[in-house]
Structure 1
Amino acid sequence: MRIVITTRINQFFLDVGAQESVVEIKRKIEQIHGVPVALQILTVSGWELVDGLDMEDYPIITEGTKIDLTIKPVEPHHSNHYNNKMQIVVKFSARRINIEVDQTDTVRSLKEKIHIIDSTSIKRMTLYFLGTELNDDFKNLNEYGIREFSEIIVYLKNMNRSREEPPSRKVSLVVQTSSSLLNGATIPLEMRDANTVNDLKQLLLSRKILPIDDYLFIHRQRIMRDSCSLRWHGVENGDRLYVFKGTVSRGAFV
C-alpha cells in the first residue's frame, strides 16, 4: 500500500508492505532522504509508532494514511549517545533472541522491549544476569554490569494459581475515541482490573456508547488482547485507552 509521510515543510509517498516493521520504514526514509533512523519519530494522530511492530499491528494505517515524521534535534553534548547502543542476548528456556539496547536503558524498558518482540507478559518476567536477579526496574543496565553480548536469562512466573494474583481492584480510566469515531469523544469509566478488554468492549456496546462494530483498543502504544485483563496489560488509575474501529488482521499475538 502507499502511505504519505508528512514533515513540517513537505510530504512524500512511500510504498510499504503490510508486514513491514516501523523500523524498516524508517530505514527506507533514511535511504531516500538521508534522515538517520535514530533521529526519526513516526506518529499517527499524535501516537508514536513502535519500532518493533509492523503495519498489520496498526489497522488504522491503510492506503493513503498520513504519517507524521518528526526529526529529533541533534544535541552536540550528547555526541557519544549512539556509542551506548549494544546487542544483548535474551534467553528463554527453549529459545533465545537478540535485542539492541542502550546502556542507559532501565530494567523496565528492557522488559518492555522483550514484550514488544516476544509478546511475553511483563508481569511474568523475572530477569537474571550472571546469577543476579535484576530486581530494580528503575536501575540502568550498566549499573548491573551488562555489556555488549551479555546474556540475560528470563524466568516466567506461573500466574495461573489464584493465590499468586493480588485481589481485584477498581480502576478509573478514560476511553478516547479517534477523530473519525464520535468526533474524538472522551469517555470516563470505572472497571475492575480483573475485567478483560472484551468486558470493556461489551460494556461500551451495551450502554450504546459505541455503535455496533469491531473495535480494537490501544494502551501505551500497544494493541490490547481481547481475552486478557486490564491488570495483565498494566492499566493503572487514570490511564487512557484509545479505541479504533477494526480488528487485528493476523495472529499478531502468540
Structure 2
Amino acid sequence: MDLFFDADKGMSFTVEVGYFDTIQEIKEKVTKYNGIPIHQQTLIFNGKTLPDDLNIHTSDILDGSRLKLITTTSDPQEPPQTITNVKTEETPSPSSPHKIKILLKPFDVSMEVDMTDSVLKIKEKMNEMEGIPLSRMVVYANGVELHDQKSLHECQLVDGSKVEMTLKPPTPPPSCMGLLSKKMKVYVMSKSGEKIGLEVNPSSNVGELRKELEKVRHQGVGFRVPDEGYFFIYKQNVMEEDHSFRWHRVGQGETIEIFNGCVTRGS
C-alpha cells in the first residue's frame, strides 16, 4: 500500500509500506528513501501523533492515506542510534516476521509463504511445482474452504498450519462435450422418392447410417431399404462411409440419397 507524506518546507513524497508494518518500520523506510533520521521524525494522522509500536492494520490508516511528517533539529550530542536500523532495512533478514511455513496435505509439500499472500498464491506455487491446473484446486483449513482472494492472515493461518488441498475432476472441453451430446436430423431419400428422417451424430461415420436403416427395415415403418447393395449420395457426390457427416459437410435437415448398387474404387 502507498502512503503520502506532507513534510516541512512544502516537501511531499510517497512511500510504499506493508499492511502489517509498524510506525517504527515506516520511519525506517522514510529514512531509507529520503535520508531523514528516525529520531527526527514525528508522524501525525488525523491530528494525532502516531506511536512507534502502532501496527498499520490495527489503525485507521488505509492505502492512499496522507500523513504529516514533522522533523526536528538533530542533537549533535545524540548518538546515531538509527544507523543499525537503516542497515537492517537495506539488508533484510531472510526470516521475515511475516513469513510462515505451511504443510499441504495430502501432497506432504512444505511451503514458505507470506502472511499477506492470498490463497491464490498457494495455488500458483503448486501449479509451478506440480503442474496442477488452478481451476482444479480447492484449499481447506480446519474444514473450511479458503477463497482465492483471502489473505493467509485473514484465514488465520499460522506457522506450521496444515492445509488440505483436494482436486476437482477434470472437465472435458466444451467442444468435446458438444460432439458427444448434440445430434442433428438428416433425411434419407430412396430412388422412388420415399423420405425418412433419422438422428445422427455429426462426428459419426456415414457407415452408421446403414445401421440405422437396417433398424428401419426391421421396424416396418413403410420406408423401403434396398435388399441388394446400395450406397449414399450427398449433393451428387458418393459418400465415403468411413468418414464423418461433418467431414462431408452435411448440415441439419439436409437430404442424403441412396442408390442401388455398389461403388468400385479405382474404376
Question: TM-score over 0.5 for the alignment?
Answer: no
- Bigger relative contact order, structure 1 or 2 (CA pairs below 8 A, ≥6 apart): 1
Larger Rg, first or second structure (1 or 2): 2
- With normalisation by structure 1, the TM-score equals 0.31
